[in-house]
Amino acid sequence: MKKTNEIKNKVRLQDAQVLAGGYSPAIRAMEIGAIVSFIALELFLVYRLYNNPHGGPWLLLGAVLLGYLAADFVSGFVHWMGDTWGSTEMPILGKALIRPFREHHVDEKAITRHDFVETNGNNCLISLPVAVAAVSMPLSSSGWVFCASFLGAMIFWVMATNQFHKWSHMDSPPAIIGFLQRVHLILPPAHHRIHHTAPFNKYYCITVGWLNWPLNLVHFFPLAERLVTRVTGLVPREDDIGDEAARALVEAQVAAEAPVVQAAKELLTKATTPEEAPPATATTRPSA
């Protein structure tokens, strides 16, 4: 706990007004184009899937549900990348994709003031290559239909992720949204609040959050960070929370082990440690 507090005290966030000012007319135009393109591609995919002889209600339902789970992982992975790597000074990506992540940690309520375009444009933009792949599939067998349906559903939920995220930060979301949050069918505010505790290094999945616990259990993201750092030499979260806090967090994570690894070691130790033999009982011979 003491180490955690020391890291929090070292966190140095960027200026909220400067970050908010980085949302330029060019970025907004790009997001509008991405939303229009995304909707067009999704509608075209639905048109191609409609009455396809290789489809069926159960196949499509399975694709939609699996796509929802996959979107939760994708949201976590993209969120982790946006929070952890890069800088707002990078050309194009810095202003368009990384800046919103930095702003959100400084002013988490800013997302509740964003309109539909600013809220959802980024997710539509990163989903376009997958949408193109989905509509390009031949749909000549049930396997192809499932793959196309799965990808289409996944990117639909990815697109909806920032809307779910926005609702999780609202003080009074619509009644139906509040119900879905309470039964954990979309991202609940209390669950997401764990991520918004400095230094913002856990619970990245923000579609529904179901995968946060298992990914945290196996230290998925800290291990991925070690790999990236070993290959590139980059320090995770350096641009977001400052160099001092970022390096202190790296040291703390290296010293920690995933709970599942700790449990495995304990089981291995128990399995390989010989049991103590019970004390020998002395026997006496009857005298002749």
pLDDT at 288: 45
Task: Say what percent of the chain tops pLDDT 70.
Answer: 81
Looking at the domain assignment, is residue 286 inside a domain? no
Backbone angles phi, psi at 267, to 5 degrees: -65, -40
- The CB density around residue 6, as the number of other CB atoms within 10 Å, is 12
pLDDT of residue 264: 54
The residue behind tokens 């979260």 is 237
Overall number of domains in the chain: 1
Look at residues 7, 116, 69 and name the one whose alpha carbon lies nearest to residue 212: 69
Query: Residue 136 has what pLDDT?
Result: 96
Whether residue 282 is contained in a domain is answered as no
Taking the CA atoms of residue 247, residue 248, residue 250 and residue 252 in that order, the dihedral angle to the nearest 10 degrees is 170
Residue with tokens 């399975």: 62
Question: Would 284 be classed as within a structural domain?
Answer: no
Confidence at residue 242, expressed as pLDDT on a 0 to 100 scale:
77
Q: Collapsing DSSP states into helix, strand and coil, what is residue 251?
A: helix
Low-confidence ranges of the chain (pLDDT < 70): 1-22, 256-288
The tens digit of pLDDT for each residue in 232-269 reads 998 888 887 777 877 777 777 777 665 655 665 566 56
* Domain annotation covers residue 217: yes
Q: What is the pLDDT of residue 99?
A: 85
Does residue 24 belong to any structural domain of this protein? yes
Position 187 scores a pLDDT of 97
Residue 70 token pair: 């996959």
| CA distance to 62, 149, 267, 274, per residue, from 58 (Å) | 6, 12, 41, 53
The pLDDT, as a whole number, for residue 224 is 94
Domain coverage including residue 244: 2-269
Whole-structure pTM value: 0.79
Spatial separation of the C-alpha atoms in residues 199 and 246, rounded to whole Å: 8
Residue 279 lies in a domain: no
Report the pLDDT value the prediction gives residue 205, as an integer from 0 to 100: 97
Decide if 44 is inside a domain: yes
